[in-house]
Amino acid sequence: MNKKERDRFKKLLLERKQQIIDAADNTKDEGLGFEQEDLADEVDLASSETGQAMNLRLRDRERVLLKKIDKALEKIEEGEFGVCELCGEDIGGKRLEARPVTDLCIRCKEDQERVEKTYADA
């Protein structure tokens, strides 16, 4: 990844971070200010949950996401951004575009999800 790309992702991440902070500031009950899809990968929002529980959970999710963004920003500074934490391969531009905070390439992510599913079914 060259400097231009790094700068672009850095800007993207900083914008995302600001969005979350803004949303946390001025939305108590009205949505998050960022796309639900951003969360889908991590958490299945169970439809049976009460609104209250959902809100609490989403605030946790925001904290987690902020942490991930900070981590990604650190990686950019260290020149490690865009490299899969498990296999060391490039994560790939398309995936990073969609989820700049991701730690894993799509292959490792799918493996991980398979493992999680296996445990969930057990």
Written as six digits, the tokens of 96 are: 């990073």
Residues 78-107 that bind Zn ion (CB under 5 A): 84, 86-87, 105
Size of the site for Zn ion (CB under 5 A): 5
Nearest to 104 by CA among 121, 119, 90, 122: 90
Give the per-residue contact string, 28-67, with Zn ion (x = CB under 5 A; - = no).
Answer: ----------------------------------------
Q: State which residue, 40 or 87, has the beta carbon closest to Zn ion.
A: 87
Residues 6+ apart with CB under 8 A from 88: none
Helices (H) and strands (E) in the chain, counts: 5, 0
Taking the complex as a whole, the smallest distance from the CB of residue 106 to Zn ion amounts, in Å, to: 8
Q: State which residue, 51 or 88, has the beta carbon closest to Zn ion.
A: 88
Does residue 108 bind Zn ion (CB under 5 A)?
A: yes
Half-sphere exposure of 40 (CA within 13 A, CB side): 7
Taking the complex as a whole, the smallest distance from the CB of residue 91 to Zn ion amounts, in Å, to: 7
Helix, coil or strand: residue 74: helix
Binding positions for Zn ion, rule: CB under 5 A: 84, 86-87, 105, 108
